[in-house]
Amino acid sequence: MTTRPEVEEFDHPDVVVVPHGPMLLRGATSVQGVDGTVHDVRRPVVALCRCDKSSRLPFCDGTHKVIPRR
Amino acid sequence: MRMPKPRGPLSEWVVARLATPVDGGHAPTADEWDDECIALWTLHEMSYRGFEDAADDAEWQPAMLAVRHELEVALEQRLRRRWPGADAEVADVPAALEAVVAADDGPSLADHVRRRATTDEVLELFRQRSVYQLKEADPMTWVIPHLPVRSKAALVELQYDEYGGGDPNRMHSHLFARGMVDVGLRAEYGAYVDDALPETLELNNALSMLGMHRRLRGAAVGHLAAFEMTSTLPSRKMVQGLGRLGLDGPMAAYFDEHVEADAVHELLAARDICATLAEDEPDQAAEILFGAFTCVDLEARLATALLTSWDAA
Ligand code: FES
């Protein structure tokens, strides 16, 4: 009898909250911002701003990296 | 594309041998770093799109591979000598990558473009950048088969976006080509290689070497992570600088695309590609940091060379 090798099933969540960073969202085709505007999404993964300081909300533009961490 | 102009005895030999392959014989030694850089760049290019005036089968000719190998050994030694090294235990790869990027005290081309650069300087920068940007993402595609399953899937997810998600019009290299035309520059692949500074060529050669060698897979993805981690904020500055100079067409759109794209890519690269690779292959952790260091170091050298030539250092 042969033993079957263990082949792991990996986590691959659609939504990932990044510590001190944005929220990654996989597979979205549109996103509505706080002002009600609906933005088309054309990339496989988008980063949504959680610090509220991005210059292109609702998307992250990297600004979180230059604001001091609480 | 035609082969570049030789810059010394070695590149002259390489260009002649690629045009008419003959077996055997010894390559002369390069007389200068410039000669070495353009020779290796030309040899690497045989594995991308090649040249209309080179023999296609020269790519795998033993004599050409021998020269390529020698130049790569010297390049890798140069890069490793500059690297201060990593801690014995790298527990948190994304944090260690952040530390490498934060330690970079090189001058910023994006700052210069945002505040002071003239249009001529910006065009010179694009000519230098075009050597890589017209094949943007290609060197990293070599790395895919070198990786274990999780980091491989994540790299493909990132590359898919680089290549426009299958839409040729959104492919980053193509967005750059359209930007080049819009600012009045040539957009054909390899158009400005003869103008490339040795610093530009070395940066490209390092990337090709990391991409092609399985042994250097960790350094390759570390380089990718550092590249993406140092892209969003500078890309925003580029958009502002281009706006200041009235160049707010497709080239500004190219950098604008990189603000949002690279905010995603830097996280995928650091967490899903580099951190999982280090988990699966712990001996790659230090290599990842070597690659990241190499990225910021070569960028800083190019920035210094350009700013010095503009008297803006
Ligand atoms: S989370 Fe990145 S800019 Fe707000």
Is B274 within the bounds of a domain?
Answer: yes
d(CA A53, CA B32) in angstroms, rounded, equals 49
Query: Domain locations in chain A?
Result: 15-65
Q: Residue B225 has which token pair?
A: 């992570």
- Tokens 């067409």 — which residue? B249
Q: What total number of domains does chain B contain?
A: 2
Ligand 1 contact, A51 CB (< 6 A): yes
- Residue-wise pLDDT for B88-138, tens only, equals 788 899 999 999 999 999 999 999 999 999 999 999 999 999 999 999 999
∠ CA B44-B47-B48 to the nearest 5 degrees? 100
Is B287 within the bounds of a domain?
Answer: yes
pLDDT at A53: 95
- Residue-wise pLDDT for A20-70, tens only, equals 999 999 999 999 999 999 999 989 999 999 999 999 999 999 999 998 876
pTM exceeding 0.80: yes
| Distant-in-sequence contacts of B98-104, Cβ < 8 A, 24+ apart | B98/B229, B98/B270, B100/B226, B100/B289, B100/B292, B100/B293, B100/B296, B101/B226, B101/B229, B101/B230, B101/B292, B101/B296, B103/B296, B104/B230, B104/B296, B104/B299, B104/B300
Q: Residue B4 has which token pair?
A: 């570049």
pLDDT band at A8 (very low <50, low <70, confident <90, very high): confident
Residue B49, classed as helix, strand or coil, is coil
Sign of CA dihedral B53, B190, B206, B202: positive
Are B262 and B132 found together in one domain? yes
- Who among A21, A45, A65 is closest to B157 (CB)? A45
Contacts of B260 in chain A (CB under 8 A): 43, 46-47, 56, 59-61
Round the average pLDDT of chain B to a whole number and report it. 96
Domain that holds residue B44: 9-81
Residue B139, classed as helix, strand or coil, is helix
Q: Do residues B220 and B287 touch, judged by C-beta distance below 8 A?
A: no
Instruction: List the A45-48 sheet strands across, edge first.
Output: A15-17, A23-26, A45-48
d(CA B22, CA B24) in angstroms, rounded, equals 7
Are B259 and B189 found together in one domain? yes
Are B127 and B260 found together in one domain? yes
d(CA B36, CA B276) in angstroms, rounded, equals 36
Is B4 within the bounds of a domain?
Answer: no
The CA B149 to ligand 1 mean position distance, Å, reads 29
Are B171 and B305 found together in one domain? yes
Q: Give the ipTM.
A: 0.90
- Residue-wise pLDDT for B5-16, tens only, equals 999 999 999 999
Domain boundary among B81, B106, B130: B81
Q: Do residues B264 and B212 touch, judged by C-beta distance below 8 A?
A: no
Contacts of B267 in chain A (CB under 8 A): 18, 21-22, 24, 47
